[in-house]
Chain A
């Protein structure tokens, strides 16, 4: 399990194109500016004015920095963490100087600050923001490893494994060819399960995996299991967290199809909607409650991994309605890992 110990390394600048990262930056910077305003204001009633002065200067610098960091992220990643920080500091200094000179035109501040003071404030705020993201990445890294272990535990019910082996055993004498195919599928399935599942993987792999899984379930359930795939407009090159579709399909079989004597239909829609990838799954469900019983562990695990990978840009919604369980996942459509 050496890989788990290594998760603390590889800290790098966050992806500033991510809405979550942008929001966090905005909050951190503005909280610091507000604190500075409180300290600088001579009376309580002037705090708001001081904050406006800081914001008038700070907000343009922040937004310009975020835009540049977003555009130049690949280049910054390429030169390494320390180099990127140094470049960032130089860039902030330049931007500060430009804005400082520009603000000299207006004489709205009663207690003008020197360039040194302003530069210190900018460096301080930038450093705290970067340190926050650094700490956050370190704090979440063990969580990524943890999520991976959870993924292994929650994925593939032992129920499925033993029943599948049992089904293959029944085929060996009568249909050796089918037994061979089934064992190959099982091997592929476990190859993915045992792999390092921390990085994003192509959607087409995920779909293949789900199909292999379903082929095995069909062996056991025969005509009780019917699957409708709607993937005509699916972008196969989209990157998704591994094992995001298969657990949902497994839930659908276990809670939706198996308890019904005559079986049922699982509908899987995967499509691209603008900058988003939408995965949609429906299965019959007659049990009680708003959530499919006993599947919370799997959906919680998926939700957690979506958050780790995409922060607030991914969502997962599930409901039980009209005798069907319906789950929708939306994640940003991306095709390269560096983005």
Chain B
């Protein structure tokens, strides 16, 4: 199909085949009054991100409850893109999400979806501003399972389980894995709040994954508290601040 400027390129993300079929039918009905093309379909959040990395998409119809990566997490990664597509959430029933959407003024459609509602939501994407990353973060109730790095319009996912530590540097946060380092544009304070279960603060500028702590070593020169954390996998030693000295006791 020729994609002219007025044709909205749409991605459907839903894990249930009948739900995707239903959306296709409905979108076909919208076509006359709202020129559109269905770019692709995805069965979970991760597949949706793959499609976005591959093709230009204007609107994502995103189911909330999906395996692997749910719609909420996918949306948070998408919202970090340079030119993110518009997101329309779809859900059959999710008391928590619906309340959170209302509070944060995020658009959603309830399944079964009526064609009039779908058409209205599609039309709205033209005029209304895109949903902000902040609103999505506020609406989410589960920590993400990945951090996303945005490089040249592509989304690169870093599984949280592979992250050894997070270190704040000027306006970025360095994400360290065994193999390499990534830069993400997030605040260390927010990361600390979101991943409080998996990470522990050892310094004003550093969060270490609890699972990545190999041990502690005495080092009076490099660390004000006299201790450094030894990181599993890389063997790096990170200073522990005096204020976070209690962490050493907690783990020893």
Q: Contact residues of A with B, CB < 8 Å?
A: 157-159, 161-163, 165-167, 169-171, 173-174, 219-222, 258-261
Asked whether any CB of chain A lies closer than 8 Å to the CB of B233, the reply is no
**CB < 8 Å neighbour of B93 from A157, A171, A219, A221:** A157
* Also in contact, A170 and B25, with CB within 8 A (given A158-B93, A261-B43): yes
Interface centre among B16, B65, B68, B94 (most CB of A within 10 A): B16
**Bound-complex Cα distance A174 to B20 (A):** 13
A173 surroundings in chain B (CB, below 8 A)? 25
Contact of A166 with B112 at beta-carbon distance under 8 Å, contacts A258-B67, A260-B67 already known: yes
Does A220 lie within 8 Å of B93, measured CB to CB? no
Q: Hey, which chain B residues are within 8 Å of A219, CB to CB? A: 18
Given contacts A166-B112, A258-B67, A259-B67, contact A159 B93 (CB under 8 A): yes
Closest B residue by C-beta to A157: B93
Q: Once the chains bind, are A261 and B94 in contact (CB under 8 Å)?
A: no
In the complex, how many angstroms separate the beta carbon of B73 from the nearest chain A beta carbon? Answer: 13
Is A162 a contact of B67 with CB atoms below 8 Å? no
- Known contacts: A170-B25, A259-B67, A260-B67. The answer to whether A221 contacts B16 by CB under 8 A is yes
Q: Which residues of B contact A167 (CB under 8 A)?
A: 16, 18-19, 22
Closest chain B residue to A159, Cβ basis: B93
Given known A159-B94, A162-B111, contact A170–B67 (CB-CB < 8 A): no
Name the residue in B18, B19, B21, B92 with the highest tally of chain A Cβ atoms < 10 Å from its Cβ. Answer: B18
**For residue B94, which residues in chain A have a CB less than 8 angstroms away from its CB?**
159
Number of interface residues of B (CB under 8 A): 20
B2 on the A face (CB < 8 A): no
B200-242 near A? 1/0 per residue, CB < 8 Å: 0000000000000000000000000000000000000000000
> What are the residues of chain B within 8 A of A174 when measuring CB–CB?
21
Bound state CA distance, A220 and B20, in angstroms? 10
Give the A-binding residues of B (Cβ under 8 A): 15-19, 21-22, 25, 43-44, 65, 67-68, 92-94, 110-113
If the complex has contacts A220-B19, A258-B65, A261-B44, are A162 and B25 also in contact, measured as CB distance less than 8 A? no
A53 to B217: give the CA distance in the assembly, Å: 75
The CA of A219 and the CA of B16, in the complex, are separated in Å by 9
Instruction: Return the contact of A163 from the options B21, B68, B111 (Cβ within 8 A).
Output: B111
- Known contacts A170-B22, A170-B25, A258-B67; A162/B16 CB under 8 A: no
What DSSP secondary structure best describes chain B's contact surface? loop
Closest A residue by C-beta to B43: A261
- 7 A-B pairs with C-beta separation under 8 A: A159-B92, A162-B93, A163-B19, A163-B92, A167-B16, A170-B22, A260-B67
Partner of A220 from the list B16, B25, B112 (CB cut-off 8 Å) is B16
The answer for the CA separation of A81 and B39 in the assembled complex, in Å, is 73
The answer to whether A222 and B17 have CB atoms under 8 Å apart is yes
Given A159-B94, A261-B43: A166 and B67 interface contact (C-beta under 8 Å): no
Besides A163-B19, A166-B16, 9 other A-B contacts (C-beta < 8 A): A159-B65, A161-B93, A162-B93, A166-B18, A166-B22, A170-B19, A221-B16, A258-B15, A261-B68
A173 to B24, CA, bound (A): 12
**Shortest Cβ gap from B20 to chain A (Å):** 8
Chain B residue numbers with a CB within 8 Å of A161 are 93
Q: Which residues of B contact A261 (CB under 8 A)?
A: 15, 43-44, 67-68
6 closest Cβ pairs, A-B complex: A170-B22, A162-B92, A167-B18, A170-B18, A158-B93, A170-B21
Q: Which residue of A lies closest to B63 (CB)?
A: A163
Closest chain A residue, CB of each to CB of B17: A222
Residue ID in chain B nearest A182 by CB atoms: B18
Chain B residues within 8 Å of A165, by CB: 112
> Do B67 and A163 have beta carbons less than 8 Å apart?
no
Q: Looking across the interface, which residue of chain A has its beta carbon closest to that of B113?
A: A166
**A169 to B15 Cα, complex, angstroms:** 16
A174: nearest chain-B partner, CB-CB: B21
